Structure 1
Amino acid sequence: MPSNVNAKSVTRNVGWSVLSKTGTFGLKFVTVPILARILTPEEFGTVAVALTVVQFLAMIGGAGLASALIIQRDEDMELIHSAFWANLVVSLMMALGLFVFAEPLASLLGAPEASHLLQIMSLLIPLQLAGDVAYSLLARRMNFSKDAVWTMLSEILGALIAVGAALLGFGVWSLLAQLFVSAFIRLAGLYAVSGYVPRFVFSARRVLSLCRFSFGMMGSEIANFVTFQSPMVVISRYLGLSDAGAYSAANRFSSIPNQIVLSAVMGVLFPAFSHMGEDRQRRSQALMLSTQVTTVLLAPMMFGLWALAEPAMLVLFGQQWASAWPVLGLLALSKGLLTPCSTYIPYLKGIGQGTTLFWWAVIRAIATTAAVAYAAIGGSLVEAMIALCLVNLATLVGYSWVVFRADQLPFLRGLLISVRPLVSAFIMAVVVRLLLDHYVTLLPSAVLQVLVGAAIGALIYLVLVLVTERSLLAKLTDMVRSRGASSSVPSAAE
């Protein structure tokens, strides 16, 4: 691991990662509504179901080897080459298996018409896994800026091609074009900036040495994947492709704020926490500060989207999707509840708590799948989303207990600090929702409702943060002032 992990390096890399995610999901902010107006819910649902299978197999194929490379003390080229070839062979076998069994898999998922898409999209598996090793080298070097540039470039070109193809009438093929173009460009970029060149070197013994860590990570990632994707499978099977399309469109849009910040922060914090080694006090400070900052930033976005879901759905997706606004609102609420958990996973990975992370991920996956399935079988899509909110609330409490126990922090004190911004954001959202409901006749335009509601909500939340988060704001102010004098103060590495 690099020896210069400090406030400056962490902040710089988080900044680049956030910039990358902002560009990527900013494109989704624009392209998803455009594509939703051109394509049908059934087309969205078909591709979403097929992509779920591809992403799941790609995760299994990687087997966590790239994550294991990140925490290695040195860059052992024999080990790196061996991991590359192991990834490639497994990914090709996965792609072949998906191609052969595409039809029964599609039928099992309740979308038999997606079988031909599964066969085509099987090629995405080796395209994704072939770049894992190159990315792991950038991550362990804390060099996220180069990956950020190529990620943004790949997403920009993929989005442009998707919109162009959709406007030309290519339908579902426009979504496939976006996936393949983005994957090809990012793969080429990763090799260009990492400087990695695969060589015909392989040691089965060296690959097995990574398996203890990688299998634990694979298990937790698979469980997390089931958590995130099982609602799509359940909805498509029991409620139909139309509801699956509505869920997919709402889920993709409601995920933008979280994925801009959280995926960027998680990617940087994992190697950063690993580098902190046995310095528990430093890790503890970093955990609490990073949790507070991400929650303060993201909670108002997610809860605010819940408050403005009805006019936002009409403005962004058009009249044909207007009835799905409760789905968008409840998805935003469910994701907002998990905001404090954003730093918990990289923390547990960084301190070597892979077993704990695995079992809690499994519990969460089972609870999510069971709750959504129960609600979908006996009810509607909205009831399934309510069930998801309840599970995520329980997940917040459970993960907080695990992490604060591992960090030797008082549970109630840590939970109170972590969820305080959630309470402020929820109060803000409820007030905005009530004001819009009461004065909706004064704002007949959905665009005006969104703009006015966002402005009122921002003002209310700012006041609440100034009142409830004074200690956090003071700490951040001190860090900014002292950053020029010293970039390696332990508390600043938070």
Structure 2
Amino acid sequence: MNVRRGLGVSAIAQMAAFIFGFISVVVVSRLLTPEEIGIFSVSVAILGFAHLFREFGVGQYLIQAKRVGEREFRAAFSVALITSWAIALALFLISTPMASFYGHPGVAEVLSLLAFNFLIMPFGTPLLSLLRRELEFDKLAIVHGAGAFVNAAVTISAAWMGESYLSMVWGSIAQHVSKVIMLNYFRPGQVWILPGLSGLSAVVRFGSIVSLSGIVNEMGRSAPDLIFGRTLGFSEVGFYSRAVGLRRMLVGRVTRLVKGVHFPVFAKSVRQGGDAAQLYGQTMNYMVAVVAPVLGVLAVLSEPLILFLFGPQWERSVPMAAMITAYAIIVTPYSLYNSSLTAVGRVGLVLNTEIAIQSVRILVLMTSLWLELEQVVALLVIAFLAQAVFSQMALKRAFGLGFRRLFTFVAPALLLVAYSVLGPVMIMFLVDEVGREAVPRVIVLMAGGSLAVVGWVVGVHLLDHPMKSELYRILRALEPIGARLRWSSK
């Protein structure tokens, strides 16, 4: 399967997953309180570290390895099985102490129940990686899409029946069970295999470094929930969670979509002798052209988006969401640095870079000991700048890709931000003049979003960005569909 088809199929799956997740978040946000969501967020933050240990780099190892036969697959399965089951036991044992530390029994309930996921994960993780290595994105799309639907359906049903923060736990368990069932359908006989010890050392060497890098990254990602939960309280965690929710829901899926295709394709291209610096720069030219404008528009429309989607109880999250999405534009050219370096085996460099990045981030978050939540979020610009600097240094060392050369790739894409936000800025200015309560938020969002798309398309044409040819390609692909629709209407 080629890159465009892989992206297309994966995009459909991501869109379906986004829709299901989006509906779930909106409904649950109206059924649960900020404290209830904060309890689940803190528990999941603790769980994030466990997820890194349970995989132990098995997925990345299977994708980047020069050869994967039955020997390598059994060794990878063995590592996943041992680590996942050990973590399930550890989570059960620490659930009560963690609940005491955070002062709420709900933390223990969430951790104990989610430990069950780690018992079934090893039977799916290696197979998902094989599908990615073999570029079978259509099967991956079905697995992830079905899992997202099951998660949303169970979560909403449980929340409606009064399961509080446990509703999201039941959704997560149901999702993982459904994925194993789907994988058994696509790969009959490969889900239930015996572990093997031959080749185990290669998996462990690679996985140990990848896991350490992932742990450091997860420390930075989960640090806000873990630190704020202790220094500021569960309600503050809830407000911060909704502030970053816009970026994670609307941009995080795009990033995961591209990473899911980029990682195996990049690894294969470099193995075949491709120029890593050129490949990375070209990929980021397209990625920044989509992600950076979306972030800019989210920053401008953060108020109507949050109030429309989550309700007035989350109004405090609005300015924080605007700052976080605006700051994120700084690091868009480096959003694939981690997966690109891992794809060529430079896992040691990834580890050192992540230690530097997350150290700065945690130091900034620790200012919550003295500052209010909004002040800490404002200071996060320091963490984003540090991430850009350290990531650039890693790309220079690994691929010889300096800042000047990378900037020549992404500069036109960054200019698209100005074209995209112009319309939404005008809309928000007019709304302020008329009065924000006088204009329905859905109208503001529709008008702002439409003008953003128009501005982006105009910018693509005026700048003659490579996305222009991709737009024409999409239009040509849609012509037969339009012709059939016109014929059926006659």
TM-score of the two chains, using structure 1 as the length reference: 0.88
Q: How far apart, CA to CA, are the structure 2 residues paired with 1:146 and 1:9? A: 15
Check whether the contact 2:57–2:208 (CA below 8 A) recurs between aligned residues.
yes
Q: Secondary structure at the match of 2:90?
A: helix
Partner in structure 2 of residue 238 of structure 1: 231
Contact residue 210 and residue 351 of structure 2 kept, 8 A: yes
Partner of 1:472: 466
- Post-superposition offset of 1:91: 1.3
Describe the superposition over 1:408-456 as per-residue Cα deviations: whole angstroms up to 9, x where unpaired: 2342231353254335415743773465145424353222222222233
Counterpart position of 2:400: 408
AA of the residue aligned to 1:325: V
Check the 8 A contact 2:423/2:448 in 1, yes or no: no
Deviation at 1:255, TM superposition (A): 0.8
Q: Identify if the C-alpha distance between structure 1 residues 190 and 386 changes in structure 2 by more than 3 Å, giving closer, same or farther.
A: farther
3-state DSSP of counterpart to 2:335 = helix
Structure 1 residue 280: Cα displacement: 5.7
Distance 1:439 1:57, change over 3 A: closer
> How do 1:201-280 residues align onto structure 2 when only pairs under 5 Å count?
201-203=195-197, 205-277=198-270
2:303 match: 310
Query: Residue in 2 aligned with 1:138?
Result: 131
Task: Tell me if structure 2 keeps the 8 A contact 1:400–1:415.
Answer: no
Pair 1:455 & 2:450 matched: yes
CA distance in 2, matches of 1:168, 1:324: 27
Residue 45 (structure 1) shift: 0.8
Query: Does residue 120 of structure 2 align to residue 123 of structure 1?
Result: no
Alignment of 1:49 with 2:42, yes or no, is yes
1:28 aligns with 2:28: no
The question of 1:386 aligning with 2:381 is answered no
Which one-letter code corresponds to 1:397 in the other structure?
A: V
Going from structure 1 to structure 2, the CA distance change for 1:444 and 1:360 (only over 3 Å counts) comes to same
% same residue: 22
Shift of 1:378: 2.0
* Aligned AA (2:39): T
The 1:143/1:357 distance shift into structure 2, 3 A limit, reads same
In the alignment, what sits opposite 2:353? 360
Q: What is the Cα deviation at residue 111 of structure 1? A: 4.9
| 2:390 corresponding residue in structure 1 | 398
Contact map agreement 1:340 1:419 (CA 8 A) in 2: no
Would the aligned equivalents of 2:88 and 2:116 in 1 still touch at CA under 8 Å? yes
1:486 corresponds to: none
Match of 1:62 in 2: 55
Structure 1, unaligned stretches of length 5 or more?
Answer: 1-7, 484-494
Per-residue displacement from partner, 1:9-50 (whole Å, max 9, x unpaired)?
222222222222221122222221111011111111111111
Aligned to 1:296: 289
Residue 413 to residue 248, structure 1, CA distance change in 2 (3 Å): same
Cα distance in 2 for partners of 1:362, 1:143 equals 34
Question: Is the contact made by 1:20 and 1:149 (CA closer than 8 Å) also made in structure 2?
Answer: yes
Aligned to 2:193: 199
1:317 and 1:479 map into 2 onto residues whose CA distance is 37
Letter in 1 for 2:428: L
Q: 2 CA distance for matches of 1:207 and 1:122? A: 25
- What is the number of residues matched between the two proteins? 473
Check 1:90–1:394 CA distance in 2 against 1; reply closer, same or farther (3 A cut): closer
Q: Distance in 1 between matches of 2:232 and 2:265?
A: 43
Asked if 1:285 is matched to 2:288, the reply is no
Letter in 1 for 2:193: R
Paired with 1:313 and 1:85, the residues of 2 have a C-alpha distance of: 44
Q: In terms of mean alpha carbon deviation, does 215-224 or 269-278 score higher?
A: 269-278
Moved more, 436-445 or 45-54: 436-445
Distance 1:225 1:419, change over 3 A: farther
Q: Structure 1: how far apart are the matches of 2:381 and 2:119?
A: 35
Contact 1:337 1:422 (C-alpha < 8 Å) held by counterparts: no
**Which residue does 2:486 correspond to in 1?**
none
Alignment of 1:404-443 (within 5 A): 404-425=396-417, 428-429=420-421, 432-433=424-425, 435-442=427-434
Bigger Cα displacement from structure 2, 351-360 vs 69-78 = 69-78
Cα shift at 1:282: 4.1
Q: Which SS does the other structure have where 1:277 is aligned?
A: helix
Distance in 2 between the 1:159 and 1:474 partners? 36
Which deviates further from its counterpart, 279-288 or 303-312? Answer: 279-288
Quote the Cα distance in structure 2 between the aligned partners of 1:114 and 1:371.
Answer: 26
| CA apart distance, 1:338 | 2.5
Q: Residue 270 of structure 2 aligns to a residue in which SS?
A: coil
The 10-residue stretch of structure 1 (12-21 or 415-424) with the greater mean CA deviation from structure 2: 415-424
1:156 is aligned, of 149, 152, 161, to 149
Deviations 1:137-173 (CA, angstroms, capped at 9, x unpaired): 1111111211210211121122112212222322222
For 2:196, give the aligned amino acid: F
Confirm or deny that 1:178 pairs with 2:171: yes
Q: Tell me the TM-score normalized by structure 2.
A: 0.89
Distance, in Å, in 2 between the alignment partners of 1:427 and 1:372 is 33
Cα 1:183–1:252 change in 2 (3 A) is farther
Q: 1-side partners of 2:293 and 2:31: how far apart?
A: 31
